[in-house]
Structure 1
Amino acid sequence: MAVNHPIGVFDSGYGGLTVLKEFLALMPEYDFVYLGDNARTPYGTRSFDVVYEYTLEAVKRLFDEGCNLVILACNTASAKALRTIQQRDLPRIAPHKRVLGVIRPAVEEVAEITKNGHVGVVATSGTVASESYPIELEKWSGGRVRQTTQQACPMWVPIVENNVMGTAGAEFFIQSNLQSLFQKDPLIDSLILGCTHYPLLMDSIRKYVPHERVQLIDQGKIVARKLQDYLARHPEMDAVCTKKSGRTFLTTEDARFFESRAEQFLGQAIQADKIEL
């Protein structure tokens, strides 16, 4: 029997499907397996220790599915668990496998495009509290980013998950959060959408960004390009990723419920299997 080695994509819920959507558009020949820990979402309000524990469980499960490469398509997991998994766990449990996140690709992109060094970040409360974006921007921007201003947007994920985009209530929260952000720093010229749910709010976000010159950083497309580049630069990893256009979807929630919601994020109908972590 042929062995499959898909690329694993993990998220605490549905948002990572917006990243997977870009992977499938750019790299359709690769096999992918998506795991959503929907039964334990959201991660954004959980402690570092709990997010790390849950994320490591998911990574181990994706390794069991044959993945040699796993993408944490979740800002909270990338912020609270990625570094520990990379530095402490992989050398012990899977030294030849790799786990990558979504924060550094966005950071590298914004460092290239900002004109004045003033960067804004909208994200979940957990990602904002982690200070991951300011830390990574200081580390990787080569001094091009001079000020990073963050805004927690705790209602944005529920707006998407409950499919109430465009309602008066949704618009109120999006407008008020963006007003708060730009009041803190009116000079922001690049805005990182630091949650994989937020591309579904793009039309509303654009309405309340005060200047057309502000560039919106959509992680999905950036992470897809960076993944393609990573595989080109690491042919040894590319060689162990199978390319049969296989698609597998796993969820810790009821599979039928997951399927009914996933199409909103992925843009296509899917079939999923329920698992336990």
Structure 2
Amino acid sequence: MTLSSAPGPIGVFDSGFGGLTILRELVQTLPEYDYLYLGDNARAPYGTRSFETVYRFTLECVQYLFDQGCQLVVLACNTASAKALRTIQQYDLPAIDPDRRVLGVIRPSAEAIGRVSLSNRIGVLATSGTVKSESYLLEIAKLYPQIQVFQEACPMWVPLVENGEYNSPGADYFVKRHVDALMRQCADIDTVILGCTHYPLLAEKIRQYLPSHVTLLSQGQLVADSLADYLERHPGMDSRLTRQGSLTFLTTDSTDLFNQPASRFFGRPVSAQFVTLS
């Protein structure tokens, strides 16, 4: 199948809802572009799956967005960025269409660290899958070899957010537990990255338990600023993106199950369309 070279929307992909916190900042920063969001909710969560499975699922979703006319796709998912992005960029894109691009969320987050941390000691709060992938350690080491990275896996945080319990008293226990565990690794940590797109909904509680001098970075604005810079530096790609300010939401699961939680993540009402990938 030959893909069209006609301009199209920016594709934004996540295994479920978390990528909507990225999309929210993309729309805020670059409102003139068209966006097509795909949540693979039927197969979520990705965090506990193997590298091979995450790669296969992510490639299917990227291909689907390409088929819908997207020339540029953002993997708004830490797990997909950690386990699939590099392989897709290096091995699949040259065969599919060397002029298209797939970008992730980990590198923009890593790039920001060097501009923020003074102590060169940073923390990452993330899912077990992202922590095990060591993607943040690797990316930060490439850019800033002098920075030490301390990671803490927070397996209960995504279920709390997805079940709407992120403001509940029960959430405090799990947030404090993992924030304290991270800070026990190194008292000199001065910057913490929220390495999961669900975690911005817990940011207020996380700040309560972090020492006041620690800077907390959410990925949405970092990714949005990085994309704006990327498009400025790549006018050829920028010219292949449509600009009518439209937003389209797609899910591989029931729209009834998607719309209400999605609206919480996105910050305004969401009405999705159901799609099948095959």
TM range (shorter): over 0.9
Where does structure 1 differ by over 3 angstroms across 4 or more consecutive aligned residues? none
Q: Distance in 2 between matches of 1:231 and 1:166?
A: 37
Query: Partner letter of residue 254 of structure 1?
Result: S
User: Where do 1:96-115 residues align within 5 Å?
Assistant: 96-115=99-118
Q: Distance in 1 between matches of 2:39 and 2:166?
A: 22
Residues 71-117 of structure 1: per-residue CA shift (max 9 Å, x gap): 00000000000000000000111111000000000000012111010
| Alignment size in residue pairs | 272
Helix, strand or coil for the counterpart of 2:200? helix
User: How far is the alpha carbon of 1:62 from its aligned partner?
Assistant: 0.4
Question: For residue 256 of structure 1, what is the aligned residue in structure 2?
Answer: 256
State the identity as a percent. 54
**Any stretches of 5+ residues in structure 1 without a counterpart?**
none
Question: TM-score of the superposition, structure 1-length normalised?
Answer: 0.96
Question: For residue 97 of structure 2, what is the aligned residue in structure 1?
Answer: 94
Q: Distance in 2 between matches of 1:111 and 1:90?
A: 30
User: How far is the alpha carbon of 1:257 from its aligned partner?
Assistant: 1.8
Query: Partner letter of residue 265 of structure 2?
Result: F
Q: Distance in 1 between matches of 2:167 and 2:269?
A: 23
Residues 174-226 of structure 1: per-residue CA shift (max 9 Å, x gap): 100111111111111110100001111011000111x2111111100010011
Query: Partner letter of residue 266 of structure 1?
Result: F
User: How far is the alpha carbon of 1:166 from its aligned partner?
Assistant: 2.5
Residue 213 of structure 2 corresponds to residue 213 of structure 1: yes
User: Where do 1:72-151 residues align within 5 Å?
Assistant: 72-141=75-144, 143-145=145-147, 147-151=148-152
User: How far is the alpha carbon of 1:165 from its aligned partner?
Assistant: 1.5
Residues 96-139 of structure 1: per-residue CA shift (max 9 Å, x gap): 10000000000000121110100100000000000000011000
Which of 10, 19, 30 aligns to 2:22? It is 19
User: Where do 1:102-251 residues align within 5 Å?
Assistant: 102-141=105-144, 143-145=145-147, 147-209=148-210, 211-251=211-251
Residues 132-191 of structure 1: per-residue CA shift (max 9 Å, x gap): 0001100012x341x100000000001100001232221111100111111111111110
Aligned-pair Cα RMSD in Å: 0.9
Question: For residue 51 of structure 2, what is the aligned residue in structure 1?
Answer: 48
Q: Is the 8 A contact 1:111 1:144 kept in 2?
A: no
Q: Is the 8 A contact 2:9 2:35 kept in 1?
A: yes
Q: Distance in 1 between matches of 2:91 and 2:224?
A: 26
Q: Is the 8 A contact 1:6 1:30 kept in 2?
A: yes
Helix, strand or coil for the counterpart of 1:122? strand
**Any stretches of 5+ residues in structure 2 without a counterpart?**
1-5
User: How far is the alpha carbon of 1:4 from its aligned partner?
Assistant: 5.6
Query: Partner letter of residue 95 of structure 1?
Result: P
User: How far is the alpha carbon of 1:255 from its aligned partner?
Assistant: 1.3
Question: For residue 3 of structure 2, what is the aligned residue in structure 1?
Answer: none
